[in-house]
Amino acid sequence: MNKQDVRTYRVTRSAILKHPGTPSSSIDITMHFTGPRIERAIYPPPPEKGGITITNEDEFCLNSGEFLNDVIIDFYLKYIMRELLSEEDRGRSHAFSCFFYKQLTQIPSVRNKPQVEDKVLTPSQKRHRKVQKWTRSVDIFEKDFIFFPINEASHWYLAVICFPRQQEHSLNLNILYKEITYAIDSTLETDQNNQTDKNEPTPSNHCEPEQPVANSNPSTEKTVAETNSEDMFAETDSDCNDNGDQYNCVSEQQVHGHRQEYRAPCILIFDSLRGPSRSKVAAHLRDYLNVEWSTRKEAELGPRVFNKNTIKMCTPHVPQQDNYSDCGIFLLQYVEQIFKNPIKNFNVPIKNLVEWFDPTDCQKKREEIRTVIRELCIKQGNDPDKQ
């Protein structure tokens, strides 16, 4: 039996993650596998297409203190979608692989000479062209949630496009106000019966419907590649900062003990280290949506523009990792949590996610994933203990 060869080296995380308040600028990380690679399992197994091969090298990433690689991320995302979600949730969700965003944003190599027709394409169209085949069998505009696992500077985080087809908020405010009025009238009637000699209280926190943001000329929005750097980063986290006093009263309005659901198109960034602004990511995804819509939907449904007014970005405060190695684990937990404990209000800024789940739950996820791989290994006739 050959032993796995593990190489230890020192890495400076401050050079990788420019994140304030980190406890140490450098740590020892054992993360390099050089032993013989042995196939553990394929998921989904043949004869299904698109199977991901998992090896002992990939499984090694599940050791405590190791960074999850793209194989484990892609495998478990697919496992979540296929095994853990209800049929309804599975039908309204789509997860791209880790390679999608990298391919979308990768600068073409100078060795790859552009084709003649490339000269008439916009930068957005050129980027879209590199990934256009990824949606041959899926209509992303029929989905409520589109997941993009992203790795930048050795750090995993999650981008989610929510309700891309929707152009207006889905909450029927007329119905909501009727229900609120009914609840208020019932309260006032009770007060009249109990305190007939007192004046009726006037509710001071009654919500007004959100006014839509006017877009005088949506067609003039520039693409990421066509704007200068100042315009590109004009949308910062402060645009949807969830630390202020502003609060969406619609989401908190409870009528007859039922919290109203409020849907709006948005791009959410879930980051377990709350790093730099991800507005550039949102800009790339909006560009992708614009070209995808014009390519696949415009002939049927007419033109549509995705910009900062029509699909806002927000980076909610979510449970955070307390080490340097669990970013991939938290990414997977965020995906699961969207269905375990659904967000009720998608009106930016999104609040009340700091205690979305207990961060200690993530401590068990490495073993949970390892158990799934082991079970797949046994089902496929492989020895899960072979090294």
Please tell me the distance from the alpha carbon of residue 252 to that of residue 135, in angstroms, as a whole number.
37
**Separation of alpha carbons 75 and 366, rounded Å:** 13
Q: Strand, helix or coil at 147?
A: strand
206 closest CA partner among 231, 230, 235, 173: 173
d(CA 313, CA 242): 12
Q: Is 23 helix (H, G, I), strand (E, B) or coil?
A: coil
Distance, CA of 259 to CA of 345 (rounded, Å) = 9
Would you say 41 and 373 are in contact if contact means Cβ atoms under 8 Å apart?
Answer: yes
To which residue do tokens 């590109």 refer?
A: 232
Encoding tokens for residue 157?
A: 């985080």
Number of Cβ atoms within 10 Å of the Cβ of 343:
20
Q: Is the dihedral of CA 208, 169, 232, 149 positive or negative?
A: positive
Q: Of the candidates 125, 106, 100, which has an alpha carbon nearest to the alpha carbon of residue 226?
A: 125
Rounded to whole angstroms, how far apart are CA atoms 39 and 58?
A: 10
Sequence-ordered list of residues with C-beta below 8 angstroms from that of 310, at least 6 positions apart, any chain: 167, 215, 218, 265
Q: Report the sign of the C-alpha dihedral through residues 250, 256, 259, 265, in that order.
A: negative
Q: Which residues partner with 149 through β-bridges?
A: 158
Q: Which residues are designated catalytic?
A: 155, 271, 327
- Which residues, listed in sequence order, are joined to residue 161 by a DSSP beta bridge? 146, 267
